[in-house]
Chain A
Amino acid sequence: MELKITATSGTLESSDIQIILEPSDGGIEIELESTVKAQFGEQIEKVIKNTLRSMDVRDAKVTANDKGAIDPVIVSRVQTAVYRSAQNTNYKWV
């Protein structure tokens, strides 16, 4: 999917993650803040990257502020941000 606009998803509540997604042309760039960065920082970045890849997003600037979200929450917030940024409502449920 091609990102068109800057999109936000998620909240700063406990167990959630806020994603700000911006179109870019320099590959995937992630800026992560997390309450559990020491233990899960790499895992969170991996989930963000995999989710973007699975949606065929090659270039994006991601600003993530994590408050202890588990993987399915991270996946969800990234997916939401991608659909919103791409202005696409052709959701895929698998």
Chain B
Amino acid sequence: MKLRRSMLFLPANNPALIRDVHIYKPDSVMFDLEDAIALKEKDAARILIHNMLKVLKEIYIELGIETVVRINGLATKFWEQDVEAVVSAGVDMVRLPMTEEAEDVFMLVNKIEEVEKKCGRELGSTKVMVAIETALGVMNSFEIAKTSRKTDRLIAMALSGEDFVTSMKTSRSTSGDELFVARGMVAMAARSCGLEVLDTVYADVNNDEGFLKEANLIKTMGFGGKSLVHPRQVELIHEVFAPTEKEITHAKKVVVATREALAKNLGVFTVDGRMVDGPIIDRAKRVLQLAVAAKLISEEEAK
């Protein structure tokens, strides 16, 4: 499975930044057509990201960077043009902001399908992620996540904190208490439907300590990664998600023992005196995948 520890936000109208994504090596890059683009430049940004994606896609693929575009919300007059521009350019995933209802997913998916057909792109190849940004969205997050049973396109869910706290008539704090319930609900909704789940951005870009504290918290809560507003945060989040040596050693043992057990047709077996079953095997595999991504072990070692 593709890791999405880091999703770096970049404005879609800045050629220099778009060209230099490879420098920061995020798991995913999200080009923003929404908040980062002034109303008068929506057309320019859309045209630019369309043409840039067409040319640079190949290089992103080689570097293992997933391309995501955040389109304008369904309540705006921009979103359909956004979808046409980026789906026809071959974007990996469309990120829908302000998702509040299950119906929103279908609206987007239908439009994507229409564009895929029109431009001759493989049907179903454009994935979708939804951003939950309001109290209503959080309350409906399970219903929204469940749409993934009807469309394979929906693969990830993100919480977006700034709009959420506004809708809650509160504000962001250093403790993150105001987001605790939302994080729990969104993470659970996403994971219950097999979706990847990403946490909100941490805007205080010069506060590494605060960032790391929050990153560790959301990792513990089950998030697979975080949306990022500064390139410097890419490395920090990757460190947070890097497994410890102890975890890696154990995971390797589990994987080896599993292989041996399979070969011997053993149903039940133990590692370090503990019984190993399905969840432990899955966890071990994820630990090794994260270890490879963090360059702690080679791909050979992870097999």
State whether A73 touches B84 (Cβ < 8 A): no
Say whether A14 faces chain B, with CB atoms less than 8 Å apart: yes
Q: Is B215 positioned at the interface, with any CB of A under 8 Å from its CB? A: no
Is A70 in contact with B15, judged by CB distance below 8 angstroms? Answer: yes
B256 to chain A, nearest CB (A): 48
Residue B19 interfacial (CB < 8 Å): yes
> Are A91 and B19 touching (Cβ within 8 A)?
no
Bound complex: CA of A84 vs CA of B41, how far in Å?
11
Chain B nearest CB from A11 CB (Å) reads 9
Chain B residues within 8 Å of A83, by CB? 43, 47
* Contact in complex: A80, B44 (CB < 8 Å): yes
**Cβ of A15 and Cβ of B43 under 8 Å apart?**
no
Q: Across the interface, which residues of B come within 8 angstroms of A69, CB to CB?
A: 15
Contact across chains for A72 and B55 when beta carbons are under 8 A apart: yes
B50 within 8 A of A: yes
Chain B residues near A89 (CB-CB < 8 A): 43
Q: Separation in Å of the A4 CB from the closest CB of chain B?
A: 16
What count of chain A residues pass the 8 Å CB interface test?
Answer: 22
The residues of A that contact B46 with a CB separation of less than 8 Å are 91
Residues of chain B lying within 8 A (CB to CB) of residue A93: 50, 84-85, 88-89, 115, 119
B16 in contact with A15 (CB, 8 Å): yes
- In angstroms, Cα B115 to Cα A77, docked, is 23
Q: Do the beta carbons of A76 and B19 come within 8 Å of each other?
A: no
Contact between B55 and A14 (Cβ–Cβ < 8 Å)? no
CB contact between B16 and one of A14, A77, A91 (< 8 Å): that residue: A14
| Closest B residue to A15 using CB positions | B16
Assess the A80–B119 pair: CB atoms within 8 A.
Answer: no
Which of A13, A14, A72, A91 meets B52, CB within 8 Å? A72
Q: How far is the CB of A93 from chain B (nearest CB, A)?
A: 4
For B15, B51, B52, B85, the residue with the greatest tally of chain A CB atoms inside 10 Å of its CB is B15
A13 vs B13: C-alpha distance when bound (angstroms): 11
Asked whether A15 lies within 8 Å of B19 as measured between CB atoms, the reply is yes
> Across the two chains, which residue of chain B brings its CB closest to A93?
B88
- Asked whether, in the complex, the Cβ of A71 is within 8 Å of the Cβ of B55, the reply is yes
Alpha-carbon distance between A64 and B55 when the two chains are bound, in angstroms = 22
B270 within 8 A of A: no
Q: Which of B6-22 contact A (CB under 8 A)?
A: 14-16, 19
Instruction: Collect the chain A residues with CB atoms within 8 Å of residue B44's CB.
Output: 9-10, 76-77, 80
Q: Which residue of chain B is the closest to A14 with respect to CB atoms?
A: B16
Q: Is B232 an interface residue (CB 8 A)?
A: no
Chain B min CB distance to A85 (Å): 12
For window 162-203 of chain B, which residues contact chain A by CB distance below 8 Å? Answer: none
- Would you call B216 an interface residue if the criterion is a C-beta within 8 Å of the partner chain's C-beta atoms? no
Residues of B within 8 A of A10 (CB): 44
Given A72-B51, A73-B51, A80:B15 Cβ within 8 A: no
- Verify A76–B88 contact, CB threshold 8 A: no
A-B contact pairs, 26 of them (CB 8 A): A13-B15, A13-B16, A15-B19, A16-B14, A16-B15, A16-B16, A69-B15, A71-B55, A72-B56, A73-B51, A76-B44, A76-B48, A76-B51, A80-B47, A83-B47, A89-B43, A91-B43, A91-B47, A91-B81, A93-B50, A93-B84, A93-B85, A93-B89, A93-B115, A93-B119, A94-B119
Known: A80-B44, A91-B85. 6 other contacts (CB 8 A): A10-B44, A15-B15, A70-B55, A77-B44, A77-B48, A93-B85
